[in-house]
Chain A
Amino acid sequence: MPNYIGTATSRVDGRAKVTGEAKYAGEFNVPGLVHGYVVDSTIPKGQIERIDTSAALGMAGVIDVLTYRNRPQMAAKDDAYKDEVAPEKGSPYRPLYDDRIHFTGQPVALVLAEDWETARVAASQVKIEYQKEPHITDLHAERARAFAVDSPEKSRGDAGKAFASAAVRHAAEYFIPTEHHNPMELFASTAIWQDGQLTVYDKTQGVQNVQQYLCKVFELQPDAVRVMSPYMGGGFGAGLRPQYQVVLAVLGAQALKRPVRVMLTRAQMYALGYRPASIERLALGASSGGTLESMQHEAIAVTSQFEEFARNDTGWGNLLYKSPNAKFEHRLVKLDLPTSCDMRAPGAATGVYALECAMDELAVALKTDPVQLRLQCYSDRHQGEDLPYTSKQLRECYRQGAAAFGWDKRNAEPRSMRDGSELVGWGMASGVWEALQMPATVRIVLTANGHAEVATAASDIGTGTYTIMAQVAADMLGLPIDNISVKLGDSTLPQCPLEGGSWIASSVCNAIANTARAVRGDLLNLANEMKDSPLAGAGVDDVALIDGKIVSKQDATRAVPIASAMQSGTADRITREEANTVAEDKSHARNVHSAIFAEVKVDEQLGVIRVTRVVNAVAAGRILNLKTAHSQVMGGVVWGIGMALHEETLFDHQFGRVMNANIAEYHVPVNADIHDIEVIFVDEPDEIVNPLGIKGLGEIGIVGVAAAIANAVYHATGKRVRDLPITLDKVVQFN
């Protein structure tokens, strides 16, 4: 029995975080540190005509102002700027490269000063004149320009014909506005040159991605660059690609031969990536019996003029529902904005929102209970690839979620349930995400005193990676968790992919298992070199490490203390580095699922909406830590509430500017908006997905939540709002 895996272990880094001991990218102080402040473009498109830095340079404490004209050398080729997750098509943005303006908020100068305040003041004195060009930033106005990109899901049958002849039909467009990640921690980088070595503390979800990127952009040898990101105050996808401040920090450090920190302001962070606004068109055709005949999902989403960022918005129906005919189309509109990017459950948060609202509307048209409709359409195979799942306990999610919520007491009629002056609505939706694994390598150093250091180049973006790794290592090495130290967020550590896509837990934990097995093998060999070893003849898989001992699985009395084995072999440490085994096996679909039930109360006169209850039942394989898993899903639900009711980046399209670039006016839920949230983990043993049966929980918590709330709002009010966020003026016709 494992001691730690599956328990509600508290965060191993909790103390460091609450005491301030944990340092973030903008907090590494070194002697002689120079502070950089970014001057950003006030126009969305055009060319820099004149830059006057004289006033800024004349200020006491200002060291230099870098622009495209006087910056140090950067690579000339596009390839150099392509990071691990850059879109395949397009040419990535190059910070401070030339006089072209591609988007509002683009950095055009970096003021370097002895302190932050001076840099900030001087930045306001840098005068820039632009030659403006006409710009476009409005998806609705430009949708006719949309062009198709490869959809990850193939169409089948004749969806158009099947829809036309279906007994019951529903077709509608849904809209999700641009959203920004708004992590608490501001983006920052501190770049330090010392003896030909560049060390960078960066806010990133992937230290090795940034390290490789910097090597290419600045034409440096791999061993000359080290990137670190030990802690992160939230990333949510914003920290997947190298952000421009890291380039500016290195440019500054190169130019001055001094350490430089560049920290962005909150407002400047609205010129980084964002969840692309998207228009999602759903057309569902059903038989009168309530099975799908046709499923069509088209998305039109935003990208920049220079890169084609697209995620799978439209294919999720293939994972959830049977339909003989299906058509999926993903299109993009290029706007004068930064490139859109991943944000929690990219593609799914938006696509499944639209799909699950459409399913609700279809259920209404069929006069069928929404859960019942989903069960009628339930698919045990991935419809696109015609593959079975490694596991899929979605039926159980529906059952347990509905039971916990009390769904059977729902009166299907809209506006039928009340609580005083409020209308009560109950809605539900399904959620789905991928259970991915990526190659990752973990190093374990076991010392004779019974301590182990477990290391990989992953970042813990706040999800609890430190903790689950300590848990898994403790169990696999048979040590108390306090004897495990986990090292992350350093590019010199063993290879690990970006922290994203919900793949880190499965990747690194399976790598820990492999590495621990290698350590166990070494220990067994040492034990068996001892005279009269009770484990003589045992193979590595015949023994386990338990309570500081190497123990025979058949006979627990046959055991050798780890310390004795190491002592007798005069090994003061065992160091092993192994990767996980990533199955090439394409015979199964790998996914996580959820069912979300939401209650809203809507003030009938005023349209004020409260989400009074949410139950999210999740089937995601083995749950490593009940506490961090619960937090992760609960956070997803909170975000889903925000997506449904609050979040929207407001653009003035005339100026091509974000108007609410601060967290007073860019609304996310506050405590008052959050009531009861219940998270259920449905038991889902899975021996196929990977040896430890881990599927990952990063994204699933948010998927479907906005749809469940939108469906509840409809049930409460009889009003179907198809564009997010659902504000009070969309629910009530006031004038």
Chain B
Amino acid sequence: MTPFQYTRANDVADAIKQIATDPYAKFIAGGTNLIDLIKYDVEGPSRLIDISHLPLRSIEPTSAGGVLIGAMVPNADLAYHPVIEERYPMLARAILSGASQQLRNMASTGGNLLQRTRCFYFYDTATPCNKREPGSGCSAIDGVNRINAILGTSEACIATHPSDMCVALAALEAVVHVIGPAGARTIAIADFHRLPGNTPQRDTNLEPDEIITAIELPPKGFSANYSYLKIRDRLSYAFALVSVAAALELDGETIKEARLALGGVAHKPWRSTAAEAALLGQRADATAFAKAADWLLHGAKGYGHNNFKIGLARRAIMRTLDQAARGTPQSISDKKIR
């Protein structure tokens, strides 16, 4: 741990101004990830700029018919918000399948996007890790990699992005609103997180001096036919081995629109336009689901301990699509998978 200063940002402009003056400063929102990383000596910010008091806590309709979620909205509030429950239930379920009640109370919408990987080596400063220390090597490739990625990996890093919320956001095609010294811009969720390539130290395309102000949901919530299924090593309070967000728009039994995203398998929520295209116009049945799974998992590669994830993901995709098609989404309170 290294000593740091603590300051509060009065408003968004102040936050941007503060972060611009100190390249080693970091924003702190709920702190549920950052504080752990500081304790583990993985992050050593010179200053914590507290943004948790910023007035970014509202959930409002947009003129386009969607919803704008302030970056400081706690995960729990978001999941239990009536509009989210009703119009975007897949997002609510994804959030509620993550972490614990206490953590969800603290964790913010913006922070959730920026939580870092749970790769064991990333947290252990006694081992090499390219993400933590560029150029030092990737210990996970030949190491304990049960929880690591099978898609979009590189020689440099096979870490996953651990968020559940982001998987649903990816399927919903959310848009991230950010503000930096150069002004405000939006980033499509698909472009927000990066693949590791040879710069695994960069998780996202957010610039270090930018702040997330909001997440925008487009009008379509797929509230009739959706599911979020999370498979993990115990029945609650564990990160996903594999998770699937599936959303369908059906005309009778025919698929008119499909969204499919995977969590726990890549450096970002994993989507494939080919997989979704393969579902269009098809009957919502196992044959179509299997084809979509094939497309989505195209190029998947195991690293030893995590080989099983490929087959598991395939079956999980089929199950989730089936749940979505039947309109019987995976329950988060029921302790069993449907």
Measured in the bound complex, the distance between the Cα atoms of B1 and A675 in whole Å is 41
Contact A675 B127 (CB under 8 A): no
- Among candidates B124, B312, B318, B335, residue contacting A734 with C-beta atoms closer than 8 Å: B312
Contact B124 A657 (CB under 8 A): yes
The stretch of B6-14, B231-239, B246-254 in contact with A is B231-239
Which of A43, A665, A729 is the most central at the interface, judged by chain B CB atoms within 10 Å of its CB? A729
Contact A659 B312 (CB under 8 A): no
Contacts of B274 in A (CB 8 A): none
**Taking the nearest CB of chain B, how far is it from the CB of A639, in angstroms?**
14
The stretch of A208-216, A252-260, A644-652 in contact with B is A644-652
A680 at the interface (CB under 8 A from B): no
Contact A671 B236 (CB under 8 A): yes
Contact B126 A665 (CB under 8 A): no
Contact A606 B337 (CB under 8 A): yes
Within 8 A of B (CB), among A700-735: 727-729, 732-735
Contact A673 B234 (CB under 8 A): yes
Closest residue of chain B to A40 (Cβ to Cβ) is: B126
**Taking the nearest CB of chain B, how far is it from the CB of A93, in angstroms?**
20
- Among candidates B127, B308, B337, residue contacting A735 with C-beta atoms closer than 8 Å: B308
B144 at the interface (CB under 8 A from A): yes
B299 at the interface (CB under 8 A from A): no
Contact A735 B310 (CB under 8 A): yes
Contact B3 A121 (CB under 8 A): yes
* Given A121-B3, A734-B310: A659 in contact with B120 (beta carbons within 8 A): yes
A120 at the interface (CB under 8 A from B): yes
Contact B315 A652 (CB under 8 A): no
Contacts of A646 in B (CB 8 A): 233-234
Closest residue of chain B to A650 (Cβ to Cβ) is: B144
Within 8 A of B (CB), among A644-701: 645-646, 650-652, 654-655, 657, 659-660, 662, 664-665, 667, 669-673, 675
Closest residue of chain A to B242 (Cβ to Cβ) is: A606
- Count residues of A near B (Cβ-Cβ below 8 Å): 43
Measured in the bound complex, the distance between the Cα atoms of B271 and A311 in whole Å is 52
- Among candidates A650, A672, A727, residue contacting B335 with C-beta atoms closer than 8 Å: A672
Contact B127 A121 (CB under 8 A): no
- Count residues of B near A (Cβ-Cβ below 8 Å): 40
Contacts of A665 in B (CB 8 A): 118, 120
B139 at the interface (CB under 8 A from A): yes
Measured in the bound complex, the distance between the Cα atoms of B176 and A336 in whole Å is 49
Contact A606 B312 (CB under 8 A): yes
Give 1 or 0 for each of A37-81: 1 = CB within 8 Å of chain B CB: 000001100000000000000000000000000000000000000
- Among candidates B139, B236, B310, residue contacting A652 with C-beta atoms closer than 8 Å: B139
Closest residue of chain B to A725 (Cβ to Cβ) is: B233
Within 8 A of A (CB), among B99-137: 118, 120-121, 123-124, 126-127
Contact A655 B127 (CB under 8 A): yes
Contacts of A422 in B (CB 8 A): 336
A382 at the interface (CB under 8 A from B): no
Contact B336 A659 (CB under 8 A): no
B311 at the interface (CB under 8 A from A): yes
Contact A606 B236 (CB under 8 A): no
Closest residue of chain B to A671 (Cβ to Cβ) is: B236
Closest residue of chain B to A646 (Cβ to Cβ) is: B234
Measured in the bound complex, the distance between the Cα atoms of B336 and A675 in whole Å is 11
A360 at the interface (CB under 8 A from B): no
Contact A735 B235 (CB under 8 A): no
Contact B143 A652 (CB under 8 A): yes
Contact B235 A734 (CB under 8 A): no
Contacts of B121 in A (CB 8 A): 652, 659
Contacts of A606 in B (CB 8 A): 231, 312, 315-316, 319, 337
B2 at the interface (CB under 8 A from A): yes
**Taking the nearest CB of chain A, how far is it from the CB of B338, in angstroms?**
8
Within 8 A of B (CB), among A109-133: 117, 120-121, 124
A344 at the interface (CB under 8 A from B): no
Measured in the bound complex, the distance between the Cα atoms of B336 and A733 in whole Å is 21
Contacts of A728 in B (CB 8 A): 231, 233, 241, 308, 312
Give 1 or 0 for each of B313-338: 1 = CB within 8 Å of chain A CB: 01110110000000000000001111
Contact A675 B335 (CB under 8 A): yes
**Taking the nearest CB of chain B, how far is it from the CB of A61, in angstroms?**
11
* Given A121-B1, A121-B3: A673 in contact with B235 (beta carbons within 8 A): yes
Contact B315 A660 (CB under 8 A): no
Contacts of A664 in B (CB 8 A): 118
Measured in the bound complex, the distance between the Cα atoms of B335 and A672 in whole Å is 6
Within 8 A of A (CB), among B1-30: 1-3
Contacts of B118 in A (CB 8 A): 664-665
B155 at the interface (CB under 8 A from A): no
Contacts of B336 in A (CB 8 A): 422, 601, 603, 610
**Taking the nearest CB of chain B, how far is it from the CB of A669, in angstroms?**
7
Contact A610 B124 (CB under 8 A): no
B41 at the interface (CB under 8 A from A): yes
Measured in the bound complex, the distance between the Cα atoms of B236 and A671 in whole Å is 8
Contact A672 B235 (CB under 8 A): yes
A605 at the interface (CB under 8 A from B): yes
Contacts of B207 in A (CB 8 A): none
A608 at the interface (CB under 8 A from B): yes
Measured in the bound complex, the distance between the Cα atoms of B15 and A90 in whole Å is 60
- Among candidates A121, A651, A662, A734, residue contacting B308 with C-beta atoms closer than 8 Å: A734
B272 at the interface (CB under 8 A from A): no
B198 at the interface (CB under 8 A from A): no
Contacts of B316 in A (CB 8 A): 606
Which of A104, A659, A670, A733 is the most central at the interface, judged by chain B CB atoms within 10 Å of its CB? A659
Contacts of B335 in A (CB 8 A): 610, 672, 675
Measured in the bound complex, the distance between the Cα atoms of B145 and A659 in whole Å is 10
**Taking the nearest CB of chain A, how far is it from the CB of B124, in angstroms?**
7
Closest residue of chain B to A654 (Cβ to Cβ) is: B143
Contacts of B312 in A (CB 8 A): 606-607, 728-729, 732, 734
Contacts of B318 in A (CB 8 A): 605
Contacts of A104 in B (CB 8 A): 126
B154 at the interface (CB under 8 A from A): no
Closest residue of chain B to A120 (Cβ to Cβ) is: B1
B307 at the interface (CB under 8 A from A): yes
Closest residue of chain A to B238 (Cβ to Cβ) is: A667
Measured in the bound complex, the distance between the Cα atoms of B3 and A218 in whole Å is 36
Contacts of A672 in B (CB 8 A): 234-237, 335
Measured in the bound complex, the distance between the Cα atoms of B236 and A675 in whole Å is 13
**Taking the nearest CB of chain B, how far is it from the CB of A598, in angstroms?**
16
* Given A120-B1, A124-B1, A610-B335: A605 in contact with B234 (beta carbons within 8 A): no
Contacts of B142 in A (CB 8 A): 654
Contact B315 A670 (CB under 8 A): no
Measured in the bound complex, the distance between the Cα atoms of B235 and A610 in whole Å is 8
Contact B236 A645 (CB under 8 A): no
Contacts of A645 in B (CB 8 A): 234
Closest residue of chain A to B306 (Cβ to Cβ) is: A729
**Taking the nearest CB of chain B, how far is it from the CB of A421, in angstroms?**
8
Closest residue of chain A to B311 (Cβ to Cβ) is: A734
- Among candidates B1, B139, B310, B319, residue contacting A655 with C-beta atoms closer than 8 Å: B139
Interface CB pairs A-B, < 8 A, 30:
A104-B126, A124-B1, A421-B337, A421-B338, A603-B337, A605-B315, A606-B231, A606-B316, A606-B337, A608-B235, A610-B336, A650-B146, A652-B120, A652-B143, A657-B126, A657-B127, A659-B124, A659-B144, A662-B123, A664-B118, A667-B233, A670-B235, A670-B237, A672-B234, A673-B234, A729-B312, A733-B311, A734-B308, A734-B311, A735-B307
Known contacts A667-B238, A672-B335, then 6 further A-B pairs from the complex at CB < 8 Å, ordered by chain A residue: A124-B41, A605-B318, A652-B127, A655-B139, A659-B120, A732-B311
Interface residues of A (CB under 8 A from B): 42-43, 104, 117, 120-121, 124, 421-422, 601, 603, 605-608, 610, 645-646, 650-652, 654-655, 657, 659-660, 662, 664-665, 667, 669-673, 675, 727-729, 732-735
Q: Top 7 A-B pairs ranked by shortest CB distance?
A: A734-B311, A672-B236, A729-B308, A42-B126, A672-B235, A659-B120, A735-B311
Interface residues of B (CB under 8 A from A): 1-3, 41, 118, 120-121, 123-124, 126-127, 139, 142-144, 146, 231, 233-238, 241, 302, 307-312, 314-316, 318-319, 335-338
